[in-house]
Structure 1
Amino acid sequence: MSQKQSSIRPLVFQGDLSEEITKEYEKDDHLAVDCEMMGLNPRRDRLCVIQICDSKNKASLVQILPGQTQAPNIQLLFEKKSIIKIFHFGRMDLTFLKARLGISVNPVFCTKIASKLARTYTDKHGLKELVKEFFDESMDKGKQSSDWGKKILSKEQLEYAAGDVKYLIALKHILTEMLVREGRLEYADKCYGFLGTLVDMDLLELKDIFEH
């Protein structure tokens, strides 16, 4: 599974996936997904890029246009019940997808939630740490904070975006095995199922209802 960050070259689309690649992705039962934004406030900041990768490592990068409110082909895939969408810290991505494109992603697997439930021997649950532990590779996160809203993305940004999704499907299988082994799979599944409700609460700015 080990491969160089630059070995996956994403297809680049404007506004939405093509019909052809959508039909190809529909055949898979897993899709890895990540999003890049101009900031972390879904009411203020724009959703700029959606990265998608299937089980065959076919990666796509969709640039979301200013003012865009729909992406029908992406919505078809992300709401299709037979395809598990895998995120790392899905809460943020799901919030932007709902707020900006009206997409209610389901079903979902979050590698960060899975890691926190399975890897209780550490407090390091970032994607970079997961990739290092399970694949012995170092991820370059240097382009994480960059201008994802510009019209033409750099080669480094494209490589970073593809690298952020290429490990997620494999991580899903590894972490699921750990959750089963430790008897925590049921808790994880309940957490994934609650993410949609949590996203709606975040958009209503009801983030602290469980605090004293």
Structure 2
Amino acid sequence: MSITLHHGDIPADLTFGDAVAVDTETMGLSLVRDRLCVVQLSSGDGTAHVVQLTRDYDCPNLKRLLADPAVLKIFHFARFDLAMIRRSLGVVCAPVWCTKIASKLARTNTDRHGLKDLSRDVIGVEISKEQQTSDWGAETLTEQQLAYAAQDVLHLHRLRAALQVLLAREGRGDLAEQCFAFLPTRAALDLAGWDEVDIFAH
């Protein structure tokens, strides 16, 4: 495993191929109150790039990558990350793939779809969530925080491949793709105030 920390933005010549794993770290889970602090990226080759963002979010190279329609963005619980990225960076991420939605569609034998359980059950990888609620707005990130941020993206490519097999087995691949396509709109609804409202209900 290799972790590279970037301050403010990624280098202009850094590429991730046709699919990049993405995650975010924030000061909390409120889309109204809390600040986006870190975006981590991986091409699935055992390397992770952790971007510690500045408060002005001046990161044109990162924004270009996240908005690139030729690059698939793989998330776990994409709904929150997409909304936070859209609010803070002004970027609509698409196309996207969400391992949590895929798990909920394919693994109906369990109600445990968090990244820790999913990684253990599907690809046999144990990950720690110990640093999840640490101070991501700190001026200097600790080695433990960097390792935590990295592990949240290092395995998403493998998880996607395994979940694609399960979705195909259960005949739900097309349904999953339609859900993924709707995710940017779901994130926009959250930002517009419909986060707890089911607009499809009676």
Structure-2-length-normalised TM-score: 0.95
Q: Which residue of 2 aligns with 1:11?
A: 4
**Does residue 210 in structure 1 map to residue 200 in structure 2?**
yes
**Does residue 144 in structure 1 map to residue 126 in structure 2?**
no
Q: Which residue of 1 aligns with 2:170?
A: 182
Q: Cα–Cα, structure 1 residues 94 and 155, in superposed 2: closer, same or farther, change >3 Å?
A: same
Shift in Å at residue 200 of structure 1?
1.0
Shift in Å at residue 150 of structure 1?
0.6
1:165-188 CA deviation, whole Å, 9 max, x = no partner? 111001111101111111101110
Alignment RMSD (CA, Å): 1.2
Q: Name the SS for the 1:12 alignment partner.
A: strand
Q: Percent identity?
A: 43
Give 2:100's aligned amino acid: K
1:141-163 CA deviation, whole Å, 9 max, x = no partner? 11000100111111110111111
Q: Which residue of 2 aligns with 1:4?
A: none
Shift in Å at residue 70 of structure 1?
4.0
The question of whether the paired residues in 1 share the 8 Å contact of 2:3 and 2:48 is answered with yes
Give matches, 1:7-86, under 5 Å.
Answer: 8-21=1-14, 24-25=15-16, 28-66=17-55, 68-86=56-74
Shift in Å at residue 83 of structure 1?
1.2
Give 2:5's aligned amino acid: V
Give 1:90's aligned amino acid: A
CA distance in 2, matches of 1:57, 1:77: 19
Aligned residues: 200
CA distance in 2, matches of 1:135, 1:176: 13
1:98-119 CA deviation, whole Å, 9 max, x = no partner? 0001010010000000000000
Give matches, 1:55-204, under 5 Å.
Answer: 55-66=44-55, 68-204=56-192
User: Unpaired runs of 5+ in structure 1?
Assistant: 1-7
Deviates more, 1:185-194 or 1:76-85: 76-85
Shift in Å at residue 211 of structure 1?
3.8
CA distance in 2, matches of 1:172, 1:50: 19
User: Unpaired runs of 5+ in structure 2?
Assistant: none
